[in-house]
Amino acid sequence: MAKLTDSNSAGEPEIAVQPTTYNSSDGAYTTELKFTETYKRFTDAHPAIREAMCLKAEYPSYFTAIRDDDLFAGRIKHGRVGFSMDEWGPTAFGYYCQPDEIMKAIEDGLVPPERKDAIMEMAAFWKHEDTSSKLRASYPKEMAEYLPSDDWMGSSGIAFPLYRLTGANVNFKELMVLGIPGLLRKIRDSRAKAVQSGGDHRLFEAMEIAVDVLVDVCKYYQKTAEQKAADVRITDSKRSAELLKIATTLEMITVSKPKTLREAIQLFWLYSLVGDIRNYGRMDVYLGDFYANDLRSGMLSEEEALKLLQSLWQLMADRNTRVHGRVIIGGMGRPNIESADKFALLAMEASRTVKEIEPQLSLRIYQGMNPELMEKALEVIGEGRTFPIIYNDDVNIPAVAKGFEVSISEAEQYVPFGCGEYIIDHKSFGTPSGVINLLKALEVTLHNGKDPLTEKVAGLALGEFKDFKDFEELWAAYKRQVEFFVDFMARQEELEYKVAGESAAFLFASMLYDDCMERGKAIFSGGIHCLGGTLETYGNTSAADSLTAIKQLVYEKKTVTPEELLAALDSNFVGHERIRKELRECPKYGNDDEAADDMLLRVHNHVCNYVRDQKKKTGLHSYSVVIINNSANTLMGHQTAASADGRLSKTFMNNGNAPSSGNDAEGLTAMLNSIVKPDPSIHAGAVQNMKFSKDLFVNKRPELKALLETYFEKGGTQAMITVVSKGDLEKAMQNPGNYRHIFVRVGGFSARFVELDRDVQLDILSRTLY
């Protein structure tokens, strides 16, 4: 293969594409080695070309076989080395390598002996060449010092960087309109313009190769489907016909734009896999018309369409992105309301019947929408599914417009991704690439810069607790501590984009993201319309409740001295039970109590506004807090000492924007009244977990509806509802085998209850059930 250099002239690229061999990732690291070889060969090439050639090396090898029930082709098993926007493990994004897994396979004798040296050499090569190492190497000295660890799950600290470019929501609608041929045409036109104007035409050449990779994948699957169809022609004629249909569909989408729901889904699905796009955006917008047309023409019955969607849902579930897999339905700003609503109902039925964790179906609601949608949503939730997650457009659209500084019509295109961060569909990016533990920041401040769990310096030394004259002095120190770390995190985000943009073009995102083609630039190299970022905050409520208790007991009632409080916290309250009791009896967020809620607002407003102001210090279009959750409240809680809200050392912190577990004692309306208080226009998403009893859904439906409607009218942004009884959960803990059907939301994602850690299970149990 000819080596490509930037000096290559315009016109057709001189890329002698080798015929693709369809060996899959085989345990002998064949594809990983080939990928590494390709990368080395193209080291000095244009980054977009290098990426395209690497994609060519890894695909379709990393795709796996069509399974017996699949109605669409497209399953993937990523290798230990590869290229991805997103993360494959904690520090694996961009050009990634998973050396630990490789070394383990070698130790376990799982690699062919004759390959061992080559594989070890490959792992050594990536050690400094993978994108996350390059990113870390770019940190300024002080930043590296205060962010010593990347292991946010297993080590103690205030803030940690995350290595990923997650949450891409590409323009699938455009993909549907153009199809593969149309996309190729657009790329070629753009290349011609770039050549004329002296722009970066190599980018478009690389895009062409990328589309070629997609076509390769289609052809690979077409072949295997035909082969399989032939194999089972006698034994299973029905399946054989299905497989032939899959093959024909694959063939069709390579030669023309999709015309049916089946073709549309197939194209969308393979694109999302090959581009490692893990969130699926406004699906009712880009698939609704296909569905309506097929129904109208008699091509599909509702039942057949449901089967297709169920198969897609299963493929998404098996892909297992863990915290992504968002499918958005409903909401304002859809051009095809009627057919989209129809599709939305079908999607909810698919989620009702395919009892899986993904897709994370999310319904946007608004005043005046078709009431059938909400009815259906409550039906599905009431059956114990945690979907759809409900988003309130009436509040979120104005909030997004203000928060992102965009017009209302742009804000109508907001989409939640992952655990609940908002971005503007195919226009903005907001990868959450940092976490900050606010409770830890308070803890380190109270200990004058030291982390009580490690006894090491973990933050700024801003004075001894006993020397703060009043609460405001403590508050100022806490703020300073948080701000010190936020500055680093924003800088880190900027560096992440910079290193990413220098390393690769992220072709599959760049092809379908505004305004990359128009500007002739890759997404992170100046192409994207709005390049924003987000910072995940944890322990917000626990920090606020701790501050409330300190304010009341240490500074107002003066029943506890700073020394006594520190002694109580440092001993995890052993021998200081009275102090713990006093702390616990102080007001807590989530009870519609002004003192507690005001403190939460103070914490919220401070961190949100300070984070927002980073846009002035960085080149980011926006930088926002997200108050989401996965199981980070538990994991980071394990690294956090006892706190002044009465929480014990190394136990979970509050979840998302929710009151701390068991602290919302005044009932559901009080809890909802509290959680509508924080301003939604100064962050980019906050999750609101709620658990309802089955009884409420079954016997009190009108009251339930009234409750939710009032909550949304009062400014509720979102609702993630789990329906379950405490008894169910207790039984499930004793007898997991029988309770696999119980799903709970652990903040940002749904999980099988019985598969969660005991700690997380206890956390969920301790949260109030209504």
Partner 1 sequence: MSFADTGMVLDILRFSLHDGPGIRTTVFLKGCPLSCKWCHNPESQSYKPQLSFDSSKCTNCMECVVACPTNSLSSVNEKLRVNFNLCNACGDCVDACPRDAFKIYGKLWTVNDVISIVLKDHAYYKKSGGGLTVSGGEPMAQFEFTLELLEAAKTHNVHTCIETCGHAPTDRFAQLLNYVDLFLFDYKETDPDEHKLMTGVSNRLILENLNFLYNEKANIILRCPIIPGVNDTKSHLSGIHALTEKYPNLTAIEVLPYHSMGKGKAERIGLNFELSDIATTAPEQASQWLSKLKEYGCEEVRLG
Interface positions with partner 1 (CB under 8 A): 577-578, 580-581, 592, 666-670, 673, 696, 700, 702-703, 706-707, 709-710, 713-714, 770
Residue 575 beta carbon to partner 1: minimum distance, rounded to whole angstroms: 10
Contacts of 55 (CB under 8 A, 6+ apart): 83, 209, 210, 213, 274, 507
In this structure, the strands spanning 530-538 and 428-429 are parallel
User: Which of 457, 668 has the CB closer to partner 1?
Assistant: 668
CB-CB contact of 727 with 739 (8 Å): no
Q: At what angle do helices 302-319 and 261-274 cross, to 10 degrees?
A: 10
User: Which of 454, 669 has the CB closer to partner 1?
Assistant: 669
User: Which of 212, 582 has the CB closer to partner 1?
Assistant: 582
User: Which of 502, 713 has the CB closer to partner 1?
Assistant: 713
Distance CA 39, CA 57 (A): 9
CA 305 to chain centre: 28
DSSP state of 459: S
Question: Rounded to the nearest 5°, which phi and psi values hold at 455?
Answer: 65, 15
Q: What residues pair up with 421 in beta bridges, in sequence order? A: 417
Coil vs helix vs strand at 78: coil
Residue 74 beta carbon to partner 1: minimum distance, rounded to whole angstroms: 45
In this structure, the strands spanning 389-392 and 718-723 are antiparallel
Distance CA 441, CA 448 (A): 11
Distance CA 546, CA 475 (A): 12
User: Which of 570, 666 has the CB closer to partner 1?
Assistant: 666
Residue 667 beta carbon to partner 1: minimum distance, rounded to whole angstroms: 4
User: Which of 496, 592 has the CB closer to partner 1?
Assistant: 592
CB-CB contact of 540 with 633 (8 Å): no
Q: What residues pair up with 532 in beta bridges, in sequence order? A: 622
User: Which of 522, 672 has the CB closer to partner 1?
Assistant: 672
Residue 597 beta carbon to partner 1: minimum distance, rounded to whole angstroms: 12
Q: What residues pair up with 161 in beta bridges, in sequence order? A: 434
User: Which of 26, 577 has the CB closer to partner 1?
Assistant: 577
Distance CA 205, CA 200 (A): 9
Question: Rounded to the nearest 5°, which phi and psi values hold at 281?
Answer: 65, -155
The sign one gets for the Cα dihedral 238, 240, 245, 250 is positive
Distance CA 251, CA 225 (A): 11
Q: What residues pair up with 745 in beta bridges, in sequence order? A: 750
User: Which of 444, 596 has the CB closer to partner 1?
Assistant: 596
Residue 669 beta carbon to partner 1: minimum distance, rounded to whole angstroms: 5
Residue 706 beta carbon to partner 1: minimum distance, rounded to whole angstroms: 3
Which of 667, 672, 659 has its CA nearest to residue 714? 672
Residue 541 beta carbon to partner 1: minimum distance, rounded to whole angstroms: 20
User: Which of 250, 642 has the CB closer to partner 1?
Assistant: 642
In this structure, the strands spanning 326-330 and 159-161 are unpaired
The sign one gets for the Cα dihedral 392, 396, 397, 398 is positive
Side-chain half-sphere exposure of 462, counting CA atoms within 13 A:
23
Coil vs helix vs strand at 373: helix
User: Which of 66, 596 has the CB closer to partner 1?
Assistant: 596
Contacts of 192 (CB under 8 A, 6+ apart): none
Residue 701 beta carbon to partner 1: minimum distance, rounded to whole angstroms: 11
User: Which of 14, 577 has the CB closer to partner 1?
Assistant: 577
Residue 557 beta carbon to partner 1: minimum distance, rounded to whole angstroms: 13
Residue 560 beta carbon to partner 1: minimum distance, rounded to whole angstroms: 14
Residue 768 beta carbon to partner 1: minimum distance, rounded to whole angstroms: 11
User: Which of 296, 581 has the CB closer to partner 1?
Assistant: 581
55, 59, 61, 65 alpha-carbon torsion, rounded to 10°: 150
CB-CB contact of 259 with 167 (8 Å): no
User: Which of 432, 678 has the CB closer to partner 1?
Assistant: 678
Which of 294, 286, 225, 283 has its CA nearest to residue 259? 294
Residue 344 beta carbon to partner 1: minimum distance, rounded to whole angstroms: 25
Distance CA 516, CA 691 (A): 43
